[in-house]
Structure 1
Amino acid sequence: VLRLQVDEQRKARSTPAVLAEIVKEEGLLAPYRGWFPVICSLCCSNFVYFYCFHSLKATWLRGQRSTPGKDLIIGIVAGVVNVLLTTPLWVVNTRLKLQGAKFRNANVQPTQYHGIMDALVQIVQREGVGALWNGTFPSLLLVLNPGVQFMIYEALKRQLRRGVLRELSSVEAFLIGAVAKAVATTVTYPLQTVQSILRFGQHRQPTEQSKLLNSLRSVTYLLINRVRRSGVQGLFKGLEAKLLQTVLTAALMFLLYEKITAATFRAMGVKQRVPSR
């Protein structure tokens, strides 16, 4: 996904074709490059988001019935906290995943990092502390992604329960998690492309354009530039692979979340309450 988002010169093909091309050029382990920082980033990010979401929901609702609007607002607030705390991990994650890649784009500068801590140190030394928050602005806009995701998930969950407190089946949790993430990802994908470019931060930019980084004008410039070069479809380059990745991940995450939550309540002997209308 990152290859197609960051490297404009790489042709958009089917996911298997792109994977085959990467393996042929860079070896069998290339698709797994940066797997450890990905796991670290996902664990930290999901923990922060889920903790904030449910803490805010419990504090605000206090047993009252939730609504899609309230879920969206709570999801956005939790997303903002998550972005501000975990963006440095995602910046490092993006760079380590793309390090050593064979780009078609000559404007991409190579990097030499030796792990998460080394990447953090080098980025601070060479680019300043602020570089760890590259892409924060589009990331803040992208809090709509988990916000929309949780709003749809909670709405579908309420429809399935229909006011009756019961544990969702594995199939139900998996399917509504997949649907929620698919909608949220498709709606916000152009901003995710801009976010990846800014986090990577290794494109050579003209002086007058580099001043626009991490600003609304920078995001607008990158979106317009992508449309000019590749058309509107260029904004959705790599969407197929992104959906395969995030939808499956989110569906499994919600499935595990529901099962772990239910098991925890049972172990603690706590009965969940149906929110009052």
Structure 2
Amino acid sequence: MSFTVFSYESLVHAVSGAVGSVTAMTIFYPLDTARLRLQVDDHRKAKSTPAILAEIVKEEGPLAPYRGWFPVICSLWCSNFVYFYCFHGLKASWLRGKQSAPSTDLIIGLAAGVVNVLITTPLWVVSTRLKLQGSKFRNADIRPTNYSGILDAFVRIIHDDGVGALWNGTFPSLLLVLNPAIQFMIYEGLKRQLRRGVLRELLSIEVFIIGAVAKAAATVATYPLQIIQSILRFGQFNELTPASKLLSSLRTIKSLLVNRMRKFGVLGLFKGLEAKLLQTVLTAALMFLLYEKIVNCTFRVMGLNNIQYKKR
């Protein structure tokens, strides 16, 4: 099993997934900026994504939609490298040449997601704060931060809030491993359906469409938890109630969800969904397209047999 997990094939998938994801995120990064502002800033009115971006550019300058790009890309690279490596390594160990099934893809996706969350959450906490630094918030209660970079953010978060603050949002993130697990389950299942037993490379348009469909379904199903995850990573949640620090992770999530529903109604749990869907669906579709192309090209260049990969 260890030989299968730690293999060249798993490394190819990990690097391909990481490269595809950072390229796609770079292209659609402003859409993610609009999504995060709507999730975190309670007092910002929900508008269309172009309107939100126009406001940000007008108030903060033309480069504001790309604020925090570098730490986000670093976090995304590490996160997708770990996820793709674990997913394909565990899948190869489990199947040993046999064809997968949706339930198998879901279980393996959950396992890979848990490993990914535990390893990369500190990177996402730092990147979220740097991405929002210098933003003009409608909510005056939000405390501004002034980090000089990634390392400074790590040091000051540990100094001011303790080491545990680097894992803020871990519990909802663990619940959110359902997102990539559902995404990969649908994606892998649609790939098998399109091939219908024929070992062929999918057309670019096929990969793009099934990647978009898979991500859209996963995003809608888990979006309320993604809002809570963003709030916790930003580190402002302890101002909700004086006793919030004493609450368990589950009660904190419940408290944040209830407070949001009281303020904005049920639709408040989906504030920013348009921006999120626009960003995440396009990003995931392009990511899967680049990932498949890089994997297939790498196997051809290296002269390796990719038949077992296609069977899965």
* 1:126 to 2:143 alignment: no
1:106-145 alignment to 2 at 5 Å? 106-145=140-179
**Counterpart-to-counterpart distance in 1, 2:61 and 2:168:** 30
Choose which of 237, 243, 264 in structure 2 pairs with 1:208: 243
Kindly report structure 1 stretches of 4+ aligned residues shifted beyond 4 Å: 274-277
1:181–1:247: 8 Å Cα contact kept in structure 2? Answer: yes
Higher relative contact order (CA 8 A, sep 6+): 2
Q: Deviations over 1:132-158 (max 9, x none)?
A: 000000000000000000000000000
2:225 corresponds in structure 1 to 191
1:47 corresponds in structure 2 to 81
- Does the residue aligned with 2:200 lie in a helix, a strand or coil? coil
* 1:173 to 2:207 alignment: yes
* 1:31 to 2:59 alignment: no
- Structure 1 residues 276 and 187, CA gap change in structure 2 (3 angstroms): closer
* 1:104 shift after superposition: 1.4
* 1:276 shift after superposition: 7.3
After TM superposition, the score normalised by the length of structure 1 is 0.96
* 1:157 to 2:177 alignment: no
**Counterpart-to-counterpart distance in 2, 1:20 and 1:269:** 49
Choose which of 238, 243, 246 in structure 1 pairs with 2:272: 238
Q: Deviations over 1:98-135 (max 9, x none)?
A: 11111111221111101111100100111111100000
**Counterpart-to-counterpart distance in 1, 2:44 and 2:245:** 23
- Does the residue aligned with 1:108 lie in a helix, a strand or coil? coil
- Does the residue aligned with 2:146 lie in a helix, a strand or coil? coil
- Structure 1 residues 150 and 12, CA gap change in structure 2 (3 angstroms): same
- How large is the Cα RMSD of the aligned pairs? 1.4
Amino acid of the structure 2 residue aligned with 1:192:
Q
Flag structure 1 segments of 5+ consecutive residues without an equivalent. none
**Counterpart-to-counterpart distance in 2, 1:184 and 1:79:** 14
* 1:14 to 2:52 alignment: no
Q: Deviations over 1:158-215 (max 9, x none)?
A: 00000110011111111111110111011100000000000000342432122226x0
Higher helix residue share: 2
**Counterpart-to-counterpart distance in 2, 1:270 and 1:59:** 19
Q: Deviations over 1:16-43 (max 9, x none)?
A: 1111111111111111110111111111
Identity %: 74
Flag structure 2 segments of 5+ consecutive residues without an equivalent. 1-34
